[in-house]
Structure 1
Amino acid sequence: MANGNETVDFAVSLEFAKHIAMMARTAKSHEYRSYFLELEKKWNSPEVVMARALKMAESRISQLQGTIEEQKPFGIS
């Protein structure tokens, strides 16, 4: 009990907590909205999108090169 009122704790997902924080009409929720919007803008910037794509491509190339090495006939280098 808090201040004579019964309280209940809830476990919510991060996504739902973000949703609640962005819908509230308080100064703190405005900070949350600004933070999430700025984070999303950075995540979707062309430079960051390209960096993620290049990292994924490099990983795939490395994986395929390993497969090629494994599949080479014996004695060929």
Structure 2
Amino acid sequence: MIESVQKRVEAALAEIKPQIQADGGDIDLVTIENNIVKVRLRGACAGCPMSALTLKAGVERIIKQKVPEIKSVEAVQ
């Protein structure tokens, strides 16, 4: 059985969360629209200047690796 895109994105985020939480932050899935994942960064990540790099080089790369249908990952407030 093929898992839904949302379930696979949630599984990828579950793998990523411990590293983000180790730095005092957190990440939540907000929505997936047109294969664009929208996440909310919380805690230390919310105001961190490195959050854009973390999002693109870390989170987006891992999600796209595990869920190839995903086009991009964006942070929302």
TM-score, with length taken from structure 2: 0.30
- Point out which structure has higher relative CO (alpha carbons under 8 A, 6+ apart): 2
Which of the pair is proportionally richer in strand? 2
Give TM-score scaled by structure 1 length.
0.30
